[in-house]
Amino acid sequence: MIEVLCVSTGQREKEIYIDAFTHAREHMTTNVVMKMIDTYTKAYVRGTTIDGGMFVTYEIRRPFGSYQ
């Protein structure tokens, strides 16, 4: 069993808290959260946006500033 307690990227003051607490019949929660972290990190480094569907686009760099 692998336990990931904290994932940290960058050196900024702003943070996102994503909870992957798993309990009865929610075995996919951890997998979904890991995919979210991967998607957010790639979009931030590449300077791209995330398509949220239904005319919503998430600009990951906006709340966190520029990547340097």
Average pLDDT, the chain: 76
pLDDT for 65 equals 65
In Å, what is the CA distance from 59 to each residue of 1, 2, 7, 49? Answer: 34, 31, 20, 5
**Percent of the chain's residues with pLDDT above 70:** 72
Nearest-10 Cα torsion for 17, 23, 26, 28: 50
Q: Does the pLDDT of residue 67 top 70, yes or no? A: no
Binned at pLDDT 50, 70 and 90, residue 41 comes out as confident
pTM attached to this predicted model: 0.64
